[in-house]
Structure 1
Amino acid sequence: MPYLVHTAHAQFAALWFGTVGWTLVIVTVGLVEWRVWEVSDLSVITSGLAWVGIWRVCFYSHAPILSDSQIMFCQRIRLSESFTPPEIAAAQVLMLVALILGLAGNASVVYGLRNVYFGLNQFKPIRLAFTSGGVLLILTGASALVPVCWNLSSVVNNQTISFPAEFRMPSAPANQSIGPGIIVGMFASILLRLKKHIIFHILYIIVSPLCPAF
């Protein structure tokens, strides 16, 4: 298949962008440092900083609120809780959707590349695999980008969260800034968008010789 040589670099780039982008989505989901709250009252949050993620709220403290096995105080944010703001509730759902869509999109692309490398050059399977992979990665990037941008907007506007008393969090931060979770999420969305463009480029190059001439 002579056209395979011309797409080798693009295929490698697509696999790299997709794998790294999807891995960063996983990292984003796990990070607690989406929003960094600076607090003025250091009686409980002795470090002066609290981290608000999409699943947990955590901070270091020297106050007698930690057990012997704890190194920081954390409370879980549940989707069903009435205090959970819409941007965090949306992030809990959409980031998991992004993980599933990203896995399916990468699998579809790998299947398409397998057909190309093993000489299974039927037009329909290759076209379907790359088209499905590209569409799934568009949806993956959008599913990750929406909650990331929404939480970024909340940080910029210094929006508050009415945490319950057991969270030991103030009603409002003195200041807040973006954390690594938002930064990594933005980078993951960019990589997934780049992979989408490369996939459609590969699709055009690979399947065009297979298209019947009219």
Structure 2
Amino acid sequence: MVSQGVQILGALTALVGCLGVMVTCGLPMWRVTAFIGANIVTAQLVWEGIWMTCVVQSTGQMQCKIYDTVLALSSDLQAARAMIIISILFGVFGVVVSIAGGKCTNCIEDMRTKAVASIVAGVLFLISGLLCLIPVSWTAQSVISDFYNPALSDAQRRELFVMGRIAKEVSGQTLCFIGLVGLCLCCGLPMWRTTYYIGSNIVSGQIVWDGLWMNCVMQSTGQMQCKMESSIMSLMQDLQAARALTIIAIIVAAVGVLLTFVGGRCSSCLKNESSMAKMVILGGALCIVAAVICIIPVSWSAAYTISDYYNVLTPTSAKRELGGCIYIGWGTAAILIIGGVVLCSSCPPQEDAYMKGMYPYQSPMMAPGPYMPVRTYSPNVPYTGPYVPNKSYPATYVAAPRQYP
């Protein structure tokens, strides 16, 4: 059963990688330029991909143009287009072969042939990863060398694909969404515990699967029967807690993923940069909480199954082994933690002293000139009061001190 769990975990990891290669192929974010002219109104963001180029103005308008010919691309992006497509083909073919050679499928009957198919799928995944790594590294080296080239102007400099918050948010959102799907699989599949029971002859062999919602029995003839749990009290204590905690984890992860999409820079739900960053951080924290909630029942069920397996009082026909949901739960928790940490690293920008959206203050134009003394003006009406300049006046009244009793 351990090898079956390892196969499932490897197939899921490879599927995630294949989806990542597809996202890398489709998004026009291989290079980015942030250009600000003499006035902030002329600011624009230029994205370059292997299929199109996009320009985002400071007003929020975006225009994208698909390349007319592959010759319009630079040499590194031309090679990237071809190698990424080949990488996707190898990855998809590897996923198909891994499913066909999995122990939980009946596409191939011979166990040796299944093992060979799994090895072939692993080799295809390795080739797909190398085909993706080569163009990405080539483009990164080209961008870095051009960035430090003194012959290029500031408007012509390009930055890497990982362009701050946008790249981190997209990768974190993808990981958290995959973790949410893994939680749903972990909750729905009846593979928390499994038993391989073989009687006096192989005809009576059967496989028993225990889940949170049903039990399934597969006979050696290929027939399968499943029965829903009539009451939660019929479950073991670990599975009772697992049912509640898994549902809570799904709800928390779903809310976290929703908040990350609401506060993401790729959406227009919020306008304030600080509020967007705080919303993304909150969503990442909820994904981490969902991962912790998922680890608790999975580890508890695994510990209970292992201790019961080595218990001498448990008959051989009643001993259980770790099911595929245990490994899916551990992998899902790891993916949620990584995605949550990536999202929590999106720090909000510092608050500026001036109001955002206003033009910067410009001092008045003062030209230097010669110094001129202050000009005095004579009064128009002559003074007729009692005061006369340079005339002595009697002192004012001063009270003399007295002795008080």
Band of TM-score, shorter chain: 0.5 to 0.7
Task: Verify the 8 A CA contact 2:34 2:46 in the aligned structure 1.
Answer: yes
Whether 1:75 and 2:65 are equivalent positions in the alignment is yes
Q: How do residues 133-172 of structure 1 correspond to structure 2 at under 5 angstroms? A: 133-158=121-146
CA contact (8 A) 1:40 1:48 kept: yes
Question: What CA distance in whole angstroms lies between the structure 2 residues aligned with 1:79 and 1:130?
Answer: 39
Question: Could you tell me whether the CA contact under 8 Å between 1:59 and 1:73 is conserved in 2?
Answer: yes
Distance in 1 separating the partners of 2:69 and 2:82? 9
SS in 2 for 1:73: strand
SS of 2:132's partner is helix
Shift of residue 42, structure 1, vs aligned partner: 6.9
Deviations, residues 21-54 of structure 1 (Å, cap 9, x unaligned) = 11111111111111111224478x9333211111
Q: Which residue of 2 aligns with 1:57?
A: 53
Is contact 1:42-1:48 (8 Å) kept? Answer: no
Residue matched to 2:44: 48
Cα 1:171–1:91 change in 2 (3 A) is farther
Superposed, 1:1-214 pairs within 5 Å as: 5-41=1-37, 46-61=42-57, 71-81=61-71, 83-114=72-103, 117-118=105-106, 120-123=109-112, 125-158=113-146, 173=155, 175-180=157-162
Instruction: Determine the C-alpha separation between the residues in 1 that align with 2:157 and 2:78.
Output: 22
Report the CA distance shift for 1:96/1:172 in structure 2 as closer, same or farther (over 3 A).
farther
CA contact (8 A) 2:22 2:88 kept: yes
Shift of 1:99: 1.0
- Distance (Å, rounded) in 1 between the aligned partners of 2:83 and 2:159: 22
Residue of structure 2 equivalent to 1:199: none
Q: Deviations over 1:151-179 (max 9, x none)?
A: 1112211269xxxxxxxxx9873543222
Checking the alignment, whether the CA contact within 8 Å between 2:147 and 2:159 is kept in structure 1 is no
**Contact 2:50/2:73, CA 8 A, preserved across alignment:** no
TM-score (norm 1): 0.64
8 Å CA contact retained: 1:102, 1:140: yes
The DSSP-based 3-state class of the residue aligned with 1:60 is strand
**CA distance in structure 1 between the aligned counterparts of 2:100 and 2:10, rounded to whole angstroms:** 13
Structure having greater relative contact order (Cα 8 Å, sep ≥ 6): 1
Q: Is the partner of 1:57 in helix, strand or coil?
A: strand
Q: Using a 3 Å threshold, how does the CA distance of structure 1 residues 172 and 57 change in structure 2: closer, same or farther?
A: farther
Aligned pair in 2 of structure 1 residues 172, 99: CA closer, same or farther (>3 Å)? farther
Report the RMSD for the aligned CA atoms in angstroms.
3.4
Return the offset for 1:62.
Answer: 6.7
Decide which structure has greater helix share: 1
Q: Give 3-state SS (helix, strand or coil) of 1:50's partner.
A: strand
Displacement of 1:61 after TM fit?
2.9
| TM-score, normalised relative to structure 2 | 0.36
